[in-house]
Amino acid sequence: MSMLQFFIAVDVTVVNIALPSIGADFGVDGHTLTWVVVGYTVTGGGMLMLGGRLGDLLGRRRVLLLGTGLFGAASLLAGLAPTFTLLVVARLLQGAGEAVALPAAMATIVLLFPEGPRRTRALSVWAAVASCGLVLGFVVSGVITAHLGWRWVFLVAVPFLLLVMVAAAFLVDGDRPAAGDAPPLDLPGALLLTACPLLFTLGVVEAGEPGMPSWVIPASLAGAVAAGAGFVRVEARSRRPLLPPRFFADRTRVAANLTTMLLSGGLSTSFLLFTFYLQDRLGIGPLDSGLTMLPLAVSLLAFSALVPRLLNRWGARACVLTGIGLTAAAMAVIALASTLEAGRAAMIPAMLLIAAGMAFGLVGLQYLAVTGVTEDDAGIASGVQRAADQLGGATGVALCVGIGFAPTLHSRDPFLIATLLATPALTAGALLTWRTPTPPTPTQTPAD
């Protein structure tokens, strides 16, 4: 299960260093390359809650094998894709595979270990493997892209995913699907939740693209609004909604998820800006770019170990506000470095600030997002928080990078524009956190 989690986490960040090489091979610019990132995260975030429900209805092992197989096949397709369009399709399918496989994998771990210290240790391993995957994705991408080519950032996972499927088939006990009278899947809700950000991304990223028909942009944006409104309407009428109306009764939980979307948008944007600045602006190769990102990777692990201790002393609100402030400072450093045309050393302070902002902000928000949950809604709260993280990151990249690097703005500094677009979102997240009542953070015992 942890091997599966590792490669799914790696796939979130591994493409960042490889993007310029992908763009050079297919002849597309940074503006269009955002599809490689947002295609994966939008589909994964939009279908995540549906994937969790599939495990309940069809059986966890069956859904785990299905999701892992889809993710592996999509990885193979991405590595062999002859066109940029097919690569984007493969990334969409990878997101769908993640959404199906991850909830079943986590549920398997939870049920394998009884509640208490054993389950706590198991979930700690699971979380640590995810963090290592995100961190190593930057470095691994640089090494693979430089020595084997960008296609291998996708192909290298395929044999390991086959191993996961074989091991799961033998080691994970089969479970019975839900009874026949179980409520049906909320498939319309999942499709609308995925279509809304995808259509929005299409409208933003393709705006100003040469040769794009004039009606496509307004039609895409109107479709995004219609899909969002349709999702709300479907959820209100569904027998088993993806997002039950009772979820919105907790003001703190709703605010935490909204802030997660805003903060994740800034964080995801910064990762792409690092890559484009190092390779496109400074002309640094993939391997050196990956090694330059090493301070971010190491400091992220260090801050991730430190923040849970400070959370008990400071409280969740202080941690979240600190994370947002550090992220805003990092974006300011990126904008200043771009304006002054500074070298790679100027990016190191921004990387350290981003690592600290990510650790402080997201750990505090994860605590607030699941505060006060019961056995009846713990899964919903966790799924919504994960979806908010992924959809917020994808939307932030589409807006900030899509507009900042748009062909119609080539005379402007794209790094400065992207930073300026991210600033209002971070400010809104800080104000929302400041005005939201937050529960006290209990001091944990060593056993916790």
Q: Integer distance in angstroms from the first to the last C-alpha of the chain?
A: 23
- Tell whether 161 and 308 lie within a shared domain: no
- Tell whether 178 and 253 lie within a shared domain: no
DSSP class of residue 436 equals: S
- Tell whether 408 and 293 lie within a shared domain: yes
448 is a domain residue? no
Q: What is the dihedral of CA 362, 313, 327, 378, to 10 degrees?
A: 10
pTM for the structure as a whole: 0.76
Which helix (DSSP H) or strand (DSSP E) does residue 295 occupy?
helix 294-314
What count of other Cβ atoms lies within 10 Å of the Cβ of residue 221?
16
221 is a domain residue? no
- Tell whether 157 and 292 lie within a shared domain: no
Q: List the pLDDT tens digit at each of the 448 positions of the chain.
A: 888 888 887 877 778 788 888 988 998 877 678 788 888 888 887 787 777 777 767 778 888 899 999 999 999 999 999 999 999 999 999 989 988 888 888 777 777 776 666 766 676 677 667 767 776 777 777 788 888 888 998 998 899 999 999 998 888 877 666 555 555 677 888 888 888 888 887 777 766 566 667 777 788 889 989 998 998 888 888 777 777 777 777 788 888 889 988 998 888 888 888 878 888 788 888 778 778 877 887 887 788 778 877 877 888 888 899 999 999 998 888 888 888 888 888 888 988 998 888 888 887 887 787 666 655 555 566 677 777 888 888 788 878 877 777 766 555 788 888 888 888 889 998 998 888 776 665 554 444 4
Q: Domain ends where: 242, 262, 285?
A: 242
DSSP class of residue 83 equals: S
Q: Domain ends where: 209, 224, 242?
A: 242
- Tell whether 274 and 164 lie within a shared domain: no
- Tell whether 173 and 60 lie within a shared domain: yes
How far apart CA 260 and CA 320 sit, in angstroms, is 10
How far apart CA 383 and CA 385 sit, in angstroms, is 5
* SS3 state at 27: coil
Ramachandran assignment for 62, one of left (phi > 0), alpha (psi -120 to 50 degrees), beta (any other): alpha
How far apart CA 131 and CA 99 sit, in angstroms, is 18
**For position 177, what pLDDT does the model report?**
61
Over its C-alpha atoms, the chain yields an Rg (Å, rounded) of 21
When divided into structural domains, the chain yields a total of: 2
CATH of the domain at 335: 1.20.1250.20
- Tell whether 318 and 400 lie within a shared domain: yes
Where do we find the tokens 């193979």?
A: 76
- Tell whether 332 and 254 lie within a shared domain: yes
**For position 75, what pLDDT does the model report?**
93
339 is a domain residue? yes
What count of other Cβ atoms lies within 10 Å of the Cβ of residue 446?
5
- Tell whether 51 and 152 lie within a shared domain: yes
Contacts with 222 (C-beta within 8 Å, 6 or more apart), sequence order: none
- What count of Cα atoms within 13 Å lies in the side-chain half-sphere of residue 252? 17
DSSP class of residue 344 equals: G
Where do we find the tokens 């602006």?
A: 281
- Tell whether 145 and 276 lie within a shared domain: no
3-class SS string, 121-152:
HHHHHHHHHHHHHHHHHHHHHHHHHHHCCCCH
313 is a domain residue? yes
381 is a domain residue? yes
**For position 239, what pLDDT does the model report?**
76
206 is a domain residue? no
Q: Domain ends where: 242, 277, 309?
A: 242
- Tell whether 285 and 422 lie within a shared domain: yes
- Tell whether 429 and 343 lie within a shared domain: yes
Structural domain for 86, as ranges:
1-186+238-242
3-class SS string, 141-199:
HHHHHHHCCCCHHHHCCHHHHHHHHHHHHHHCCCCCCCCCCCCCCCHHHHHHHHHHHHH
- What count of Cα atoms within 13 Å lies in the side-chain half-sphere of residue 134? 17
352 is a domain residue? yes
Contacts with 95 (C-beta within 8 Å, 6 or more apart), sequence order: 39, 40, 41, 42, 43, 44, 45, 47
What count of other Cβ atoms lies within 10 Å of the Cβ of residue 310?
17
How far apart CA 5 and CA 157 sit, in angstroms, is 12
254 is a domain residue? yes
